[in-house]
Amino acid sequence: MNEEMKAVIDAIHNSDRVLVTSHENPDGDALGSTLGLGLGLEKLGKEVVFYNKDGVPELLTFLPGSERIETSLEGAGNFDLAFAVDCTGTSRAGGEFEDFLKAGRCRQVVIIDHHQTNSTSADIRLLDSGSSSTGEIVYLLLKTMSVGIDEAIAKNLYTTIVSDTGSFRYSNTNPVTFRDASELVEHGVDPSEISEALFESEPLRKLRLVALVLPTLSVREGNRVASVVIDRSMFEKAGARREDTEGLVNIPRSIKGVEVAVAFREETGNGSPYWKISLRSKGDVDVARIAEHFGGGGHKKAAGCSVEGVLEEVQSKVFGCISGELK
């Protein structure tokens, strides 16, 4: 057991009231880690309050305990300990939580995270960037404390893994990921039930949007670059929401031989139109370099940026830059 793990366990033993939160716009790892940890702490006799500034997105309401997530800290009282899980810093949990900490309402703050982070905004930081999800770190913590993993905890933690690995498809998937999944399924998780909830519960409007986006699919550079366009008229026609564009860049990415996939999404800020650009790499091209060229950023395999202008100009600039990066 490392120093940080030991410190977290000591902090838990010395606490009665515990607050658990995660980053804004929570995903499966954020909420699954919040609930898995909090339900585990309750088994140790702690009084737990679950909080997320933005609440639970419709897609994740199947998570056991999700109905207990509060969206306000008003009247929450004081806490011996607060956890900010899947957060690179306490500020990721939002302004209300930051103010709460500043007001001295939590005696100690712990961050549990698998992102590479430099934040020093907590008393203890339990970090493992080799972990596929924050949920796996939470699972190790609960096991180390001999918490009995019940079905509700297992479902939450299994969801963190499936969410953050894209169902065991991303490069963060490793032998420990599979070992943890195996154990969690033994604790009563039905993998097909979680997969169905996460991947086979699309709103009809999203499919309507995809139907409008697909005809814009185009390829260039001998199929090495593929792209789609999502403009405002499509949104209106499909009755779609912003969240429905999530993952649309995977359409051009799915084509054989494509090295760089791009999605152009029309936005309006204060008057001037601009395009939000999602970039994905399947080969050796570092798309973060392309995004940085336009003032954006990200990782080698996934990055994004915004560019002002009409579509043709924007595409010409972006495709020109990509062309220069292809070997």
Residue 41, helix vs strand vs coil: helix
Member of 16, 99, 151, 196 binding a copy of itself (CB under 8 A): 196
- Please tell me whether residue 119 binds a copy of itself under the rule CB under 8 A: no
Bridge pairing between strands 225-230 and 260-268:
parallel
- Binding segment (CB under 8 A) for a copy of itself, from list 26-34, 70-78, 192-200, 233-241: 192-200
Q: Does 254 bind a copy of itself (CB under 8 A)?
A: yes
For position 61 contacting a copy of itself by CB under 8 A, the verdict is no
How far from 3 is each of 8, 127, 143, 233, 323, CA to CA, in Å?
9, 11, 16, 55, 48
CB under 8 A: which stretch of 2-10, 67-75, 86-94, 212-220 binds a copy of itself? Answer: 212-220
Q: Does 110 bind a copy of itself (CB under 8 A)?
A: no
Considering the complex, state which of residue 46 and residue 155 has its C-beta at the smaller distance from a copy of itself: 155
Give, for 28, the enclosing helix (H) or strand (E): helix 28-43
The Cα 78–Cα 18 span in angstroms is 9
- Phi, then psi, of 326 in degrees rounded to 5: -70, 135
CA distance 88 to 191: 29
| DSSP-assigned letters across all residues of 99-136 | HHHHTT-EEEEEEEE-S------SSEEEE-TTSS-HHH
Q: Determine contact, residues 21/84, Cβ cutoff 8 Å.
A: yes
By CB under 8 A, residue 130 contacts a copy of itself: no
Q: According to the binding rule CB under 8 A, does residue 284 interact with a copy of itself?
A: no
Quote the crossing angle between the two packed helices 134-144 and 3-13, to the nearest 10°: 70
Least distance CB 156 / a copy of itself (angstroms): 17
Q: Tell me the closest approach of the beta carbon of residue 314 to a copy of itself, in angstroms.
A: 23
CB of 260 to a copy of itself, least distance (A): 13
CB of 94 to a copy of itself, least distance (A): 28
Of 82 and 262, CB closest to a copy of itself: 262
Q: Which of residues 152-181 bind a copy of itself (CB under 8 A)?
A: 162, 167-171, 173-179, 181
Give 294's Cβ-side CA count (13 Å radius). Answer: 27
Residue with Cβ nearer a copy of itself (124 or 225): 225
Choose the stretch contacting a copy of itself; rule: CB under 8 A; options: 47-55, 67-75, 190-198, 262-270: 190-198
The residue range among 111-119, 139-147, 195-203, 270-278 that interacts with a copy of itself, by the rule CB under 8 A, is 195-203
DSSP codes, 147-182? ----HHHHHHHHHHHHHHHTTTTSTT--HHHHHHHH
* Window of 111-119, 211-219, 239-247, 305-313 that interacts with a copy of itself by CB under 8 A: 211-219
**Rounded CA gap, 163 and 132, in Å?**
10
Residues in contact with a copy of itself by CB under 8 A are 162, 167-171, 173-179, 181-183, 185-186, 190-192, 195-196, 199-204, 207-208, 210-211, 214-215, 217, 219, 223, 251, 253-257, 282
